[in-house]
Amino acid sequence: MTTEHNNRFNHYLGIEVLHRDDNGCKVMLKIRPELYNSIEGVVHGGVTSTLADVAMGHGAAPHVDGVQQCVTVESKIQYLSPARGSVLEAESKVLKSGKTLIIMEARVTCDGKLVAVATGTYARVSPKRAE
């Protein structure tokens, strides 16, 4: 397991990369009360969406020296049920990879139960181009 320390936001949330290969990525986040929405025990949808985005971004293009090599162009998420539990995981897969754009899908689970499905388009960039 690794944490992307160069990505301050992911580090702040506590997101860990469990696995990454050319087909996708799996990430996890231990749920804690400050990640709940106003309904006690339910993870905020923005956290679920963020985890899906991280899994898809890491799956679209590997980080180089801790620096991302792609950016999100667009994403969509469908929430299927409330995320209640102790561990949130997102597993992404590449649906189509082109020279510049990569189409991704992520399935988000909470303690093994499917809670959301996301899709996204990612653009390869060099860190200097992202500035």
* CATH code for position 107: 3.10.129.10
In a domain, 39, yes or no: yes
E-state strands within the chain? 16-21, 24-30, 70-79, 87-97, 101-110, 113-124
pTM of the predicted protein model: 0.91
**Of 7-11, 25-29, 47-51, 124-128, which gets the smallest average pLDDT?**
124-128
Model confidence at 131, in pLDDT bands (50, 70, 90)? low
* Domain hosting residue 55, numbered range: 8-130
In a domain, 111, yes or no: yes
Residues 15, 48 contacting (CB under 8 angstroms): no
In a domain, 82, yes or no: yes
In a domain, 29, yes or no: yes
Residue 46's closest CA among 4, 130, 108, 123? 108
CA 130, 10, 97, 108 torsion: positive or negative?
A: negative
pLDDT digits 0-9 by tens, 66-109: 788 899 999 999 999 999 999 999 999 999 999 999 999 999 99
In a domain, 69, yes or no: yes
Structural domains in the chain (count): 1
